[in-house]
């Protein structure tokens, strides 16, 4: 492995599993990604933004849950979206400090508000600063 490859492999990573359509197997895919990391003893932090909250029941690990009721309420108050998505931002910071995979499972009804939050908060810039 070259030095460049080693550097890339030591960076924290993010996997987002999302689709606006329900029943597409998003949580199944997220579970598979989590399982692969657990099998290889690689650190992973999982976040679910989903009304059904199946990921936590499926992988049996601590999963950070973004409260979808708070997300819904933030649609009429954009400033409240920062607070609604604070658990995800905390998970992002943890993944960066641990050089871990951040796995985000987004349910169909939460794709648009999550995308709006990412734009509003300039999430991509924050992630670059954190080393993703």
pLDDT in tens, 32-86: 999 999 999 999 999 999 999 999 999 977 899 999 988 888 877 777 888 899 9
User: Residue for token digits 């997300």?
Assistant: 71
Cβ contacts of residue 50 below 8 Å, gap of 6+?
Answer: 27, 68, 105, 106, 107, 110
User: Residue for token digits 């939050």?
Assistant: 117
Q: Are 28 and 86 in contact (CB under 8 A)?
A: no
Higher per-residue pLDDT: 108 or 79: 108
Can you read off the two tokens belonging to residue 77? Answer: 């108050």
Task: Give the pLDDT band (50/70/90) at residue 29.
Answer: very high
């Amino acid at each position: 492995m070259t030095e460049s490859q080693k550097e890339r492999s030591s960076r924290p990573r993010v996997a987002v599993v999302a689709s606006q359509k329900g029943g597409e197997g998003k949580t199944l895919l997220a579970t598979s990604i989590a399982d692969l990391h657990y099998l290889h003893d690689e650190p992973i932090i999982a976040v679910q933004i989903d009304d059904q909250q199946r990921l936590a029941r499926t992988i049996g690990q601590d999963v950070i849950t973004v409260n979808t009721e708070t997300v819904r309420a933030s649609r009429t108050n954009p400033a409240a979206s920062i607070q609604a998505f604070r658990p995800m931002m905390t998970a992002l910071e943890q993944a960066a400090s641990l050089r871990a995979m951040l796995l985000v499972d987004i349910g169909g009804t939460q794709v648009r508000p999550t995308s709006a939050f990412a734009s509003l908060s300039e999430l991509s810039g924050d992630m670059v600063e954190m080393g993703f």
